[in-house]
Amino acid sequence: MPDAIFAHPRLAAVYDAFDGDRGDLAAYLDIATQLGADRVLDVGCETGSLALLLAEHGRTVVGIDPAAASLEIAKSKDREGLVTWLCGDATILPALDIDLALMTGNVAQVFLTDDDWTRTLRGIHAALRPGAHFVFETRRPERRAWEDWAAEAPVTLDVPGLGMVQRRLEVTDVDLPLVSFRFTYRFLTDGEVVTSDSTLRFRDRDDLESSLVANGYRMMDVRDAPDRPGREFVFIAERAGSRQSAE
């Protein structure tokens, strides 16, 4: 079940405001160009920022996310109907003959068990054409990002149409490789408080590479995130073998 930050209608409506400038997405547009990808799948598309950017640059795009509230925001921004939006996770994907699957943000870290991660890898594999690519980012465990989160001060923004909203972040548990945290949103116009609890898994590079190879991918490259040097890995893998090889 998606976390409230994506699934609660009121939180989905303020997500983009607190997510800020998405300058990080330009790197994925560049990767799509480098790989010659025309048909792109955005896994965990949230409110559609990356999917729409890709579509506006001429790609055929499918965006999938299990949070209906976030998808409603995405659809509201897609006035020309450029993107095919699917509600669900990667396990429901059909064979789409996609050239490139992307997974940005925290998405690769929300799969807390090995079984969930394996099912996701296999679902994406089934959607890709032979020789297509899967690219995703994940935080480096050694960077200990949760220590920065614990020091983060509350943020208050004037969200268009909603007024002043305050967000507070609290790290609630660190039991590596799992880190849990809570966002608390206070809507100052009416005093409503909505919380969202999340847990992320911090996998190391060797673990991720092994899981990719075991589920029908060939490792192509592991890069530094250009906008967050030293903080994240960007994995680039190629779909190997027949569709049945990863099932």
pLDDT digit string, tens, across residues 176-230: 999 999 999 999 999 999 999 999 999 999 999 999 999 999 999 999 988 788 9
Distance CA 59, CA 74 (A): 17
Q: Is 244 exposed, middle or buried (0-12, 13-18, 19+ CB in 10 A)?
A: exposed
Give the pLDDT confidence score for residue 242 in this predicted structure: 54
Q: What is the mean pLDDT of residues 57-78?
A: 97
Q: How far is CA 118 from the centre of its chain?
A: 16
Reduce the DSSP state of residue 26 to 3 states and report it. Answer: helix
C-beta of residue 179 within 8 angstroms of C-beta of residue 199: yes
CA distances from 238 to 41, 110, 126, 155 (A): 14, 22, 13, 40
Global pTM reads: 0.93
- DSSP type of residue 169: E
Q: What is the mean pLDDT of residues 82-92?
A: 96
The residue among 128 and 245 whose pLDDT is bigger is 128
User: In this predicted model, what pLDDT tens digit does every residue of 22-35 receive, in sequence order?
Assistant: 888 999 999 999 99
